[in-house]
């Protein structure tokens, strides 16, 4: 009789249960089709016991704040019971948060699952590896029985390929992972082929019309040269999960309030070591934001380079209409062949069209605020001698080579 195959699937709840890993993932249905049973994470366990995260979290925080240690310990037993239920798991699929800190609870989890095969998802742009300062995450990634994957699709491909081994149980899977790591000791590495010490401490601001390829170029700097990435659109979409009114406003083509952009940028910059380069995608969009950012960068002793990717309004409109997005990879695709629910070639997620890109009135508003706000912001940077223009009517690879040449001068 074949033994039962169990998967403990654990990932971030973020701040919105509807956006959590257990609520939005492409793993569960496929794994179940392969005969693998899912053991839900702590948040699902809490929900089953009628104490969901949005109740449990504030309750525990309040107990800490008023110093009721014994009561806190009794309530924390919910988590401990969940660990007991998962000790028999065959393997773990883990998806840590990029900005996670990895406190005491994480260390307990690590000890509890010692020796269990781990398939760790670090994000399409290696965000967990680049941005997570937690010792816990690095202990997980360097665990003897851990393999690193960029996306859920990569995990599913691995499980499908080795499903016979998975069905043989935990010991067989451990042997497989050890064999893979013997054959390729660097399998968990994610080297940046274009990394250079010449980029140390660089602050690159990439501006241009909508559809100019700002995000594409910033992500290439992240993926190939080891730059940190800040994208106002990416950060605002995440924040919209917590603040629905913000998401509603952005979907109509409105700009985010200055205070939010200033806060998000300052938070990202303060996390950097002095040697770490950063690519800022599409911010600031207003002169007041630019003045604030320049003052803050001066305080941090960082001198920015502002790269403006030039395209005309006609091409900008054309690309917006044709643009579809992978919300998981945070990559945009421009091309009519990709519109209509096709899958992302990188992670397999369904491509979507954002509301503001499908609404003519919203597109008109986006074009107008570019002329009124972004153009003035670029002029302000020009007056400070910080701007270099590049021709956006070329392939993304040609533009990227041009940007690298600028940064190495």
User: Domain holding 286: CATH number?
Assistant: 3.40.50.300
Residues 6+ apart with CB under 8 A from 161: none
Same domain, 146 and 21: yes
Same domain, 66 and 167: yes
Same domain, 177 and 269: no
- Weakest mean pLDDT among 169-183, 207-221, 237-251: 237-251
Highest mean pLDDT among 121-130, 282-291, 349-358: 282-291
Q: How confident is the model at residue 348 (pLDDT cuts 50, 70, 90)?
A: low
Same domain, 135 and 282: no
Q: Where are the beta strands (DSSP E) in 150-247?
A: 203-208, 228-231
Between CA 106 and CA 12 the distance in angstroms is 12
Give pLDDT, residue 314: 83
Give pLDDT, residue 89: 87
Same domain, 56 and 9: yes
Between CA 174 and CA 186 the distance in angstroms is 17
Asked whether the beta carbons of 400 and 392 are under 8 A apart, the reply is no
401 has a pLDDT exceeding 80? yes
Asked whether the beta carbons of 136 and 106 are under 8 A apart, the reply is yes
Give pLDDT, residue 225: 93
Residues 6+ apart with CB under 8 A from 388: 305, 306, 307, 308, 406
Flag whether 188 is in a domain.
no
Give pLDDT, residue 44: 73
Same domain, 226 and 135: no
How many residues in total does the chain contain? Answer: 409
Pick the more confident residue, 70 or 269. Answer: 269
Domain region containing 23:
5-183
pLDDT digits (tens, 9 = 90+) for 118-136: 999 888 888 877 776 666 7
Flag whether 189 is in a domain.
no
Give pLDDT, residue 71: 81
pLDDT more than 70, % of the chain: 77
Give pLDDT, residue 104: 44
Strand arrangement, sheet containing 146-149: 36-39, 5-10, 91-94, 118-121, 146-149
Rounded average pLDDT over 148-168: 93
Q: Domain boundary at 133, 151, 183, which?
A: 183
24 has a pLDDT exceeding 70? no
Give pLDDT, residue 57: 75
Between CA 322 and CA 333 the distance in angstroms is 8
Give pLDDT, residue 21: 60
Going by DSSP bridges, is the β-strand pair 304-310/278-281 parallel, antiparallel, or unpaired?
Answer: unpaired
Flag whether 387 is in a domain.
yes
How buried is residue 10: exposed, middle or buried, by Cβ count under 10 Å (0-12/13-18/19+)?
A: buried
């Amino acid at each position: 009789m074949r033994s039962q195959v169990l998967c403990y699937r654990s990932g971030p709840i973020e701040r919105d249960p509807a956006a959590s890993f257990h609520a939005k993932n492409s793993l569960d249905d496929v794994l179940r089709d392969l005969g693998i049973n899912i053991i839900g994470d702590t948040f699902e366990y809490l929900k089953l016991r009628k104490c969901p995260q949005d109740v449990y979290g504030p309750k525990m925080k309040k107990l800490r704040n008023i110093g009721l240690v014994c009561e806190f310990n009794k309530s924390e037993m919910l988590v401990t019971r969940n660990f007991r239920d998962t000790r028999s798991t065959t393997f773990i699929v883990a998806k840590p948060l990029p900005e996670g800190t990895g406190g005491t609870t994480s260390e307990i989890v690590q000890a509890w699952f010692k020796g269990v095969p781990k398939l760790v998802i670090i994000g399409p742009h290696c965000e967990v590896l680049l941005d997570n300062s937690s010792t816990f995450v690095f202990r997980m990634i360097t665990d003897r029985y851990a393999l690193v994957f960029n996306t859920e699709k990569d995990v599913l491909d691995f499980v499908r390929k080795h499903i016979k081994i998975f069905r043989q149980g935990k010991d067989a899977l451990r042997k497989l992972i050890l064999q893979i790591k013997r054959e390729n000791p660097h399998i968990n590495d994610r080297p940046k082929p274009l990394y250079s010490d010449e980029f140390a401490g660089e602050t690159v601001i990439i501006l241009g019309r909508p559809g100019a390829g700002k995000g594409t170029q910033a992500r290439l700097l992240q993926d190939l040269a080891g730059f940190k990435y800040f994208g106002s659109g990416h950060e605002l979409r995440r924040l919209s999960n917590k603040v629905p009114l913000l998401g509603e406003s952005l979907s109509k083509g409105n700009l985010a309030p200055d205070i939010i952009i200033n806060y998000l940028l300052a938070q990202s910059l303060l996390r950097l070591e002095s040697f770490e380069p950063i690519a800022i995608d599409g911010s600031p969009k207003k002169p007041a934001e630019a003045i604030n950012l320049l003052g803050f960068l001066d305080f941090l002793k960082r001198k920015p380079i502002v790269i403006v990717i030039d395209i005309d309004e006609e091409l900008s409109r054309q690309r917006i209409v044709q643009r579809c997005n992978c919300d998981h990879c945070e990559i945009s695709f421009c091309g009519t062949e990709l519109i209509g629910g096709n899958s992302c070639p990188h992670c397999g997620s369904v491509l979507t069209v954002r509301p503001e890109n499908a609404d003519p009135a919203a597109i008109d508003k986006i074009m107008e605020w570019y002329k009124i706000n972004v153009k003035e912001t670029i002029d302000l940077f020009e007056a400070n001698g910080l701007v270099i223009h590049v021709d956006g009517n070329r392939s993304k690879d040609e533009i990227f080579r041009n940007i690298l040449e600028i940064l190495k001068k």
